Amino acid sequence: GAGVSQSPRYKVAKRGQDVALRCDPISGHVSLFWYQQALGQGPEFLTYFQNEAQLDKSGLPSDRFFAERPEGSVSTLKIQRTQQEDSAVYLCASSLRRSTDTQYFGPGTRLTVL
């Protein structure tokens, strides 16, 4: 498909487990964002990549959150030692060039931490 894909779509983790969430952006898109969306809220910015460079990680809530995009395409968001407050939908979006170009969103990964 030509859109942004994310996997898994749903993830249930026990508190303290590590999780890895994958994002496949649109081919050729330079910019990639990760967002966290709590129930009934808007997406909250987590981090931004331009190609393989992570230019902004100011939104990551703690040092348990880590994101990478080693070859400038697929990205992984890793959460270590998950806590209940990490339960949310994690959205990935990509855009062609700049961060203010149109963003194309994936369907999200719903993470539930028990």
Tell me: does residue 8 bind other proteins (CB under 8 A). no
Of these, 19, 108, 111, 113, which contacts other proteins (CB under 8 A)?
Answer: 108
Q: Distance from first CA to last CA of the chain, Å, rounded?
A: 33
Q: Does 91 participate in binding other proteins (rule CB under 8 A)?
A: yes
7 binds other proteins (CB under 8 A): no
Residue 24 contacts other proteins per CB under 8 A: no
**Between 29 and 58, how does the x/- string for binding to other proteins read (CB under 8 A)?**
----x-x----xxxxxx--x-x----xx-x
DSSP assignment letter at 24: E
3-state class (DSSP) for residue 111: strand
CB of 27 to other proteins, least distance (A): 18
Q: Do 108 and 90 contact (CB within 8 A), yes or no?
A: yes
Q: Go through 62-72 and write b for each residue having 16 or more CB atoms within 10 A of its CB, e for each that does not.
A: eeebbbebeee
Residue 1 in the binding site for other proteins (CB under 8 A): no
